[in-house]
Amino acid sequence: MDKTVTKAEADTIPTSDAAPATSVTDRVERTIEALIVEGRLAVGDRLPSERALAECLGVSRNSLREALLRLAARGRVVIRKGGNIIAEPAAARWTHTTIVDPLTPLVAGNPGFGHDVLEVRRGLEGQAAYHAAQRARPADIDAIRRCFDALAEGHQKGDAAAEARADAAFHLAIADASHNAVLRSVMSSMFGLLQSSISQSLDKLYVVPRTFERLSDQHQALVEAIAAGDADAARLASDTHIDFVAQTIRTLDEERARIERADALRRGTHPRS
């Protein structure tokens, strides 16, 4: 069931009144996007009415309407008749039905399919990084940097699963910055398939000695290339990162298989194929 964001909750939205008039629409778009990225607006949540939200943000309804149309064009919200704005990517349902549902039974518990997914992810993320460097607006760069910071915070807490989720959010923020709703939705489905097939390896990725530092450096290079508008450097940084992730996960899978074989020999049973 949809959860409606109340007027009281909307009153907590930062307004940043010091922003110049020429950036009002950008500011509104950035504010609503931040609420989605930070989880204060989840899939299925209804935003306040256009009038109430405009009052909370201290902007005109025209500026708010333009910002919402931008977000809708990027697949971040859906605008319905009657003025209800739903924080739900319009293409997400399509990709889940046509990509995730058919492939999930195949990839679940089978690392081989996970590596296939990583190969596809390499091409998609390279394209996303390339287009993000060309098209990202200040709000997009801010969102990417917030996700990058969240990765470091998660690592300090020692929660590998949370780090894996933060990593996905970081890469999806880059996909958002590509301003290609289909690319973003397909990339999101890739992360779901990876979790189905190699979730143990993804979690372990963040506890391998010195791996986090290398991942962080790769992420930093990706952020800076996008922020600098260097499309070729962004794609190269993305490819380098995914290649490293794939090789590290492959090593983890081989080590786990080796341990399983050794355990099976001790028990006199056959290891899993």
The tens digit of pLDDT for each residue in 174-209 reads 998 999 978 887 887 777 676 655 555 666 676 677
Which residues make beta-bridge pairs with 46? Answer: 4, 86
41 or 27, greater pLDDT: 27
Mean predicted confidence (pLDDT) in 241-256? 87
pTM over 0.85: no
- Percent of the chain whose pLDDT exceeds 70: 72
pLDDT digits (tens, 9 = 90+) for 82-92: 655 665 554 55
45 or 75, greater pLDDT: 45
Supply the mean pLDDT for the chain. 78
pLDDT digits (tens, 9 = 90+) for 59-104: 988 888 888 887 776 667 766 666 556 655 545 556 666 777 777 7
What integer pLDDT is reported at residue 154 of this predicted model?
76
What integer pLDDT is reported at residue 216 of this predicted model?
92
**What confidence category does residue 272 fall into, taking pLDDT thresholds of 50, 70 and 90?**
low
**What confidence category does residue 113 fall into, taking pLDDT thresholds of 50, 70 and 90?**
confident
Q: Please report the domains of the chain, with CATH numbers, ordered by start residue.
A: 7-86 (1.10.10.10), 92-267 (1.20.120.530)
| Residue 78: φ, ψ to 5° | -120, 130
Q: Is the pLDDT of residue 138 over 60?
A: yes
Q: Is the pLDDT of residue 28 over 50?
A: yes
What integer pLDDT is reported at residue 234 of this predicted model?
98
What integer pLDDT is reported at residue 209 of this predicted model?
73
What integer pLDDT is reported at residue 145 of this predicted model?
92
What integer pLDDT is reported at residue 71 of this predicted model?
78
CA distances from 118 to 112, 124, 163, 180 (A): 10, 10, 18, 20
pLDDT digits (tens, 9 = 90+) for 170-183: 898 899 899 997 88
- In 3D space, the residue among 33, 137, 127, 160 whose CA is nearest the CA of residue 89 turns out to be 33
Q: Which amino acid is at 162?
A: A
CA distances from 222 to 111, 169, 175, 186 (A): 27, 14, 12, 20
Cα gap 217→64, rounded to integer Å? 37
